[in-house]
Amino acid sequence: MGDAASPNLITCIVQRGEATKVVDAAIAAGAEGATIYYGRGTGVRQKLGFAGHFIRGQKEIILIVTKVEQTDAVFAAVVNAANLEKRGQGFAFLHKLDRAIGFL
């Protein structure tokens, strides 16, 4: 039931303590706000570590709903602010939303 004007959802998962700078960059790029919550990651990297360092399980999960025309700029700002091009820093992904309510 979605159309080209449907909003998008950017999800970004970063190490604890990194979310504020990611959200600030997203807002500067045109996002209207974000939701941050906390989680715990598990997996093989937890056990093996990365570059000789154990990867902390505590994560911050950032949800950012964007208008279609803002999505590319906000996603790029999130990737840059979180340093996601560097391994072990976190990851981000994009969802196309079919419907959203309460979002201007």
Q: What is the pTM of this model?
A: 0.83
Residue 80 lies in a domain: yes
The angle at the Cα of 12, spanning 7 to 13, to the nearest 5 degrees, equals 155
d(CA 26, CA 28): 5
- Structural domain includes residue 13: yes
Residue 52 lies in a domain: yes
List the domain range (segments joined by +) for residue 13. 8-96
pLDDT in the model for residue 2? 45
Q: What CATH number does residue 38 fall under? A: 3.30.70.120
- Number of domains forming the structure of the chain: 1
Fill in the amino acid letter for 72. D
Nearest to 76 by CA among 2, 1, 12, 5: 12
Low-confidence residues of the chain, pLDDT below 70? 1-4, 43-56, 103-104
Q: Give residue 88's pLDDT.
A: 82
The reply to whether 103 falls in a domain is no
pLDDT of the residue at 76: 98
- Residue 69: the pLDDT is 94
Distance, in Å, from the CA atom of 51 to the CA atom of 103, rounded to the nearest integer, reads: 41
Cα–Cα dist 65/12, whole Å: 12
**101 assigned to some structural domain:** no
For position 1, what pLDDT does the model report? 44
42 within a domain of the structure (yes/no): yes
